[in-house]
Amino acid sequence: MLKTIAVSNEKGGVAKTTTTLSLGAALVELGNRVLLIDLDAQANLTLALGFEPGENENTSSSVMLDNVALLDARKKTDVEKLDLIPSSSRIEISEQFLPVRTGYTTILQKAIQTGNLPYDYIILDCPPALGAITKNALAASDLLLIPTQAEYFSAYALRNMMSLIRNIREQDNPNLAYRILVTMLDRRNRTHRNIHEQLRSTFGEGVFNTVIEMDTKLRESPIAGLPITHYKPGARGSTQYRVLAQELMEYAKETEDRQAA
Ligand SMILES: Nc1ncnc2c1ncn2[C@@H]1O[C@H](COP(=O)(O)OP(=O)(O)O)[C@@H](O)[C@H]1O
Ligand SMILES: [Mg+2]
């Protein structure tokens, strides 16, 4: 069964793009076919996989605005079984033009449902905003993955996210689940440890057991145009994203078993 995961947080710089790419590549290593969709006008994911945002005929904005089929916008990457739908700055106009259309929040949901997609996982890299694009991503997803730093303002920003989740569940996607992922953790930092503890006691099962620690190799891999797992397979970041991929697959299996029962 195809699983769609939205990676979202209204804050920038919390490792949304890094998580989309690294988790996607780790899922491929575990035998999955993965499609990444870049939904951010900054196109960092597109760049990190070695594509020029301006040079692609079809992009995520063609899917959102012009009804282009997902498979007609997909690109093969240098990593086998890892495909990408690139972004460009044009996706930004969706935020303005989509809300005037009726049913605009389910465009992506419908594109995925009717897309006949040969993938095990689709991962959506969202922009740092909770607007039309992010609503589409959440309406289309089985799971919302929220990367967050163990910083006060990051934890605080989760409030808006929680109210958006309630909204989406009421309107377009009653089964939307979420998991918080603590990223860029520095275990020597007492505040980080405290906030991580607080997140776990507040959200319980809603926080992944896996945490992603600081690793400068994660900053270098986009320059190489490769996911960390391929750029530095032995790096701490590679190991931790592999563990995350395993935790996610177990979670997906449990959910399937529960739905089948
Ligand atoms: N675990 C990590 N350790 C060190 N740097 C990281 C880590 N995760 C992400 N980064 C770096 O932090 C910056 C922001 O990450 P990015 O994934 O672009 O965030 P977002 O997509 O949420 O804006 C990037 O320079 C990225 O390379
Ligand atoms: Mg990003």
> Looking at residue 216, what is its pLDDT?
96
pLDDT at 248: 97
Q: What is the pLDDT of residue 145?
A: 98
CB 150 within 8 A of CB 199: yes
What pLDDT is recorded for position 155? 76
Cα 104 → chain centroid: 20
Give pLDDT, residue 129. 94
3-260 is classed CATH 3.40.50.1240: no
Give 107-131 pLDDT, tens digit per residue. Answer: 999 999 999 899 999 999 999 999 9
Which ligand approaches the C-alpha of residue 222 most closely? 1
Ligand 1 centroid to Cα of residue 15, in Å, is 4
- Say if residue 92 is exposed, middle or buried (CB neighbours under 10 Å; 0-12, 13-18, 19+): middle
- pLDDT on residue 250: 95
Which residue minimizes the CA distance to atom 3 of ligand 1?
A: 214
Helix (H/G/I), strand (E/B), else coil: 8: coil
pLDDT at 191: 92
Which residue positions in the chain have pLDDT lower than 50? none
pLDDT digits (tens, 9 = 90+) for 135-149: 999 999 999 999 999
Give me the pLDDT at residue 3, please: 95
What is the reported pLDDT for 74? 97
Q: What is the pLDDT of residue 259?
A: 84
Pocket of ligand 1 (CB under 6 A): 12-18, 44, 128, 183-184, 212, 214-216, 218-219, 237
pLDDT given at position 239: 98
What lies within 8 Å, CB to CB, of 87 at 6+ separation is 38, 39, 40, 41, 42, 43, 45, 46, 53, 59, 60, 61
pLDDT at residue 8 in the model: 98
- Output the CA 259–ligand 1 centroid distance in Å: 35
Say how many Å lie between the CA of residue 18 and the centre of ligand 1: 6
Q: Which amino acid is at 202?
A: T
pLDDT at 226: 94
pLDDT of residue 151: 86
Distances (CA, A) of 136 to 72, 183, 196: 19, 24, 29
pLDDT at 261: 84
Quick: pLDDT tens for 198-212: 999 999 999 999 999
